[in-house]
Structure 1
Amino acid sequence: MATFSQSTIEKGSDMIQDFLCSTCEDKKLDNTADFYCESCVKFYCRTCIGMHSQWFTKHAPYGRGAMKK
């Protein structure tokens, strides 16, 4: 499903887990995801979300701030 690209821990802060873009990962690229589509159950970077939004106009992907949903 999702792959963790890295974990960032700063002094006094919570751990932040970054996910890889599902489409880029299939192409062996390590781009951090900025969006999540609940309908597709996939993560997308800023580049790939444009094409996803063109193909799947009724999907409503979450931005990085809402990924905990």
Structure 2
Amino acid sequence: MDADELERRFDAGEDMSEFFDWSKATRPNLEAKRVNVDFPTWMVNGMDKEARRLGVTRQALIKMWIAEKLG
């Protein structure tokens, strides 16, 4: 199967797990490093409101936003 066929099947929602050797799969660069950041109260309140709207935690929201900006 070529890359185009793999992409077509993936986009069609097919289960692609049979095409990968999961015993060798890795997740690079997932080491966590704690960082402390102080935010003004109005920002925390705004983040909490948006996190509730999206159904995620404040920490998850911050991670999503930073990943979007850096990605």
Bigger radius of gyration: 2
Q: Which has the higher strand share?
A: 1
Task: Compute the TM-score of the two structures, normalised by the length of structure 2.
Answer: 0.24
Q: RCO greater where, 1 or 2, for CA within 8 Å and sep 6 or more?
A: 1
Q: TM-score, normalised by structure 1?
A: 0.25
